[in-house]
Amino acid sequence: MTRRPCVRYHGAMERVAPNSIAERGAVDSDTFLREVASRYEPVVLRGQVAHWPAVAAGRAGPRAIADYVARFGGGAPLDVLIARPEIGGRFFYNADLSGFNFTRQQVPLGALMAELLRLADAGETAPHAIYANAAAAPAHSPGWSEANRLDLPVNATARLWIGNAVTVATHYDASPNIACVVAGRRRFTLFPPEQLGNLYIGPLDHTIAGPPVSMVDLDAPDLARYPRFAQAWATARTTELGPGDAIFIPAIWWHHVRAFDAINVLVNYWSGEEGAASPFLALVHAMMAVRDLPEAERGAWRSWFDQLVFDAAAPRAGEHLPAPVRTVLDVPSPARSERIRRFLVASLQLMGQGPSR
């Protein structure tokens, strides 16, 4: 039975996340494509990577997993977040949002595992929080992907997430995500994309690790300050994963991740990450170019966005033109994407030059 997190709302009774995440056992490639990746819903895949040698080490205890991971330490140092015990493992902003409650260091993989093992052996109830995030295996742990293969049709780099009992604030990923637990236990709490307005997102251009995060602390949500979070919480879905389990998280689904043990290792894969255009950057550009226009003009541009971006017929918007001149209006293809990139680069360069004289 899946254990659900307890959260105490300020001024309210303690309650648990109301929904669980759909679960199934390990799947093969065909089933994954047909029944998991094709649907815009999160799915837990129990035992999906139970056959990995790394998972066997993870189940054997802190020293076994520390020794196993350190074996792959021939690559570049990892970007490691380090914070004092007072943060309770929650990496976040400082009080006035001018900076963060942690520092960064470049640490070799072997040294990272040795320090995590030292802290585990010391048995401190509130040690320093240590976390290496999204370390690409080919660069930082060469040989890992060959020794621990994901038997699913995902064209993505394996990335390691290694630390002690830490919390990652609620955020989204721009690409579909498969996250595989190697060692320790992790709790995932997910919110559908449409809960954006109820999650009170932080700065867009001053972020902890890439995407913007929710300002709400899930372990102590302040409903006086963030009252609409109660609506988001009513939609929350949660699960707890152990070694060998995996979860599929569709793109743009918000997720909060909490690790519980002295040494936690997770590997994830962001499909479609290589060279993909960023809807987030397009959104930020639209905020500058469209959001502040007079209402009537904004409405006029809405029809352009509907016609050329959001409408189901948008890929066919250039069919009335001869094929050689459809260019950026053409159906998706590598050639069309490259044409759009060149057009945008040239346009941004002109914009940077200011008004013509």
Looking at domain 6-270, its CATH architecture is Sandwich (2.60)
Do the bridges between strand 129-136 and strand 159-163 make them parallel or antiparallel, or are there none, so unpaired? antiparallel
The domains of the chain are located at: 6-270, 279-352
Q: Is the pLDDT of residue 3 over 50?
A: no
Residues 95-120: tens digit of each pLDDT: 999 999 999 999 999 999 999 999 99
Q: Are residues 33 and 178 in contact, defined by beta-carbon separation less than 8 angstroms? A: no
pLDDT at residue 348 in the model: 80
Measured distance CA(105)–CA(318) in Å, rounded: 51
Q: How far is CA 261 from the centre of its chain?
A: 21
Q: Which SS3 state, helix, strand or coil, does residue 264 take?
A: strand
Do the bridges between strand 103-107 and strand 167-171 make them parallel or antiparallel, or are there none, so unpaired? unpaired
- Tell me how far apart the 2 most distant CA atoms of the chain are, in Å: 72
Distances (CA, A) of 240 to 17, 42, 244: 12, 13, 12
Task: Flag whether the pTM goes above 0.85.
Answer: yes
Residues 258-283: tens digit of each pLDDT: 999 999 999 999 987 555 678 888 89
Residues 297-349: tens digit of each pLDDT: 999 999 999 999 999 999 888 899 998 888 889 888 888 888 888 888 888 88
